[in-house]
Amino acid sequence: MRFLVYGLARSGQAVVERLAARGDEVVAVDRSLGNELDVDLLDGVDVLVKSPGVPGERPLVTLARERGIPVWSEIELAYRLLPETTRIVGVTGTNGKTTTTELLGAIFRAAGLGVAVAGNVGTPLASVEAADWVVCELSSFQLEDVDTLACDVAVLLNLEPDHLDRHGSYDAYRDAKLRIFERARAKVVPRGLGLDGIEFAADDPLPAEPLIRGAHNRENAAAATAAARAAGVGDEAIAEGLRTFPGVPHRLEPVAEVGGVRFVNDSKATNVAAARRALAAYEDEPVHLILGGSLKGEDFAPLAAAVGSNVRSIHLIGEAAGELAAVLDGHDDGTLERAVAHAAAGARPGDVVLLSPACASYDQYENFEQRGEEFRRLSRIQAE
């Protein structure tokens, strides 16, 4: 078959490698190649495989649909390439996806099951060639163009406005997320959302209390527990996973302590709802909050309402600083370097300097990981 692979970031590269190894013909399209507008590349193409970062409105994608060429996400192709014996737990939601996905991976390993953790968590599903189980984090971008994907257990953690700059409306975003349930054998859903399935909530009794901090992480643990039970995992293994899982990088991650001041990296909080969860996790401690980055079309008023009296100072960075300043009393520090230095200078022993941006990172960084690593570095040099 002849495939056009659109987008050559991690998932696109994994697709190219898998297809080439099978002997398929591959046409690669990427902004870096300068060939995004070459419509002749569609000639003879059987399927267009679109990376999650490529919007569906790009001319080649639109034209492919007009010509009747199937458009698949990397997830759809990868699912079709998995052995029929592989079972899948899919995890989606606005926030908590990576934590819940990795926690489930830890639980499955505690149960002695062969498991691969993949998807939006960082390892492309297309790079998984064989596994008994796959726990797959699924973003709205990845779910837009699935066709036959069928999860043995499908988990929806929550639904709050996000990625409105890409989807155009909350309804479109919600519809993309709910595609995870279209062929699912078991559904795990938040209590009170009005969806059919196995319900979970933060106050559920659990086999063990989770090691990770915050009410939102107890909710993640409840979702992981319900999903693991639906997959047939016993409570002893679930308890082991809950007691030992330390969390994921860039998500309420303690990265330094200098003179009694703790620095917490929550760079993965790329929307308002995630930042509000971080504020709730530290509501009983003095906080110096760093916000800002690239805009996603969100309203910052709910974030302003969540800022309690324990927040001693607010430091704004990046493209969103102006919009944040319109609703919050913050200092426009411009860059993360100045914000960390400013926050640290005003902090006292027992205080927390919290990076929880409520924004994407693309104005100043390649991704939230790079932003988080920079925060880690800047935090540690405060001791020098």
For the segment 197-231, what is each residue's pLDDT rounded down to a tens digit?
999 999 999 999 999 989 999 999 999 999 999 99
Q: Which domains does the chain have, with CATH numbers?
A: 2-69 (3.40.50.720), 77-244 (3.40.1190.10), 253-383 (3.90.190.20)
pLDDT tens-digit readout, 39-71: 999 999 999 999 998 999 999 999 999 999 999
Q: What pLDDT sits at residue 166?
A: 75
To which H or E segment does residue 362 belong?
none
Backbone angles phi, psi at 31, to 5 degrees: -55, -40
What Rg value do the Cα atoms of the chain yield, rounded? 21
Whether residue 3 contacts residue 24, with contact meaning beta carbons closer than 8 Å, is answered with: yes
CA distance 72 to 56: 11
CA distance 79 to 105: 18
pLDDT surpasses 80 at 38: yes
Whether residue 269 contacts residue 208, with contact meaning beta carbons closer than 8 Å, is answered with: no
CA distance 220 to 243: 14
The distance between the two most distant Cα atoms of the chain, rounded to a whole number of Å, is: 66
pLDDT (mean) for 266-279: 95
Backbone angles phi, psi at 355, to 5 degrees: -90, 110
Residues in the chain: 384
Query: What's the token pair of residue 312?
Result: 């001693």
Whether residue 254 contacts residue 346, with contact meaning beta carbons closer than 8 Å, is answered with: no
The closest alpha carbon to 105, from 126, 84, 86, 91, belongs to 91
pLDDT (mean) for 167-185: 92
The closest alpha carbon to 52, from 144, 155, 152, belongs to 144
Whether residue 149 contacts residue 183, with contact meaning beta carbons closer than 8 Å, is answered with: yes
Whether residue 133 contacts residue 118, with contact meaning beta carbons closer than 8 Å, is answered with: no
pLDDT tens-digit readout, 108-141: 999 999 999 999 988 999 999 999 999 999 999 9
> Which active-site residues does the annotation give?
97, 120, 163
Distance, CA of 273 to chain centre: 13
Q: What pLDDT sits at residue 5?
A: 98
CA distance 89 to 187: 10
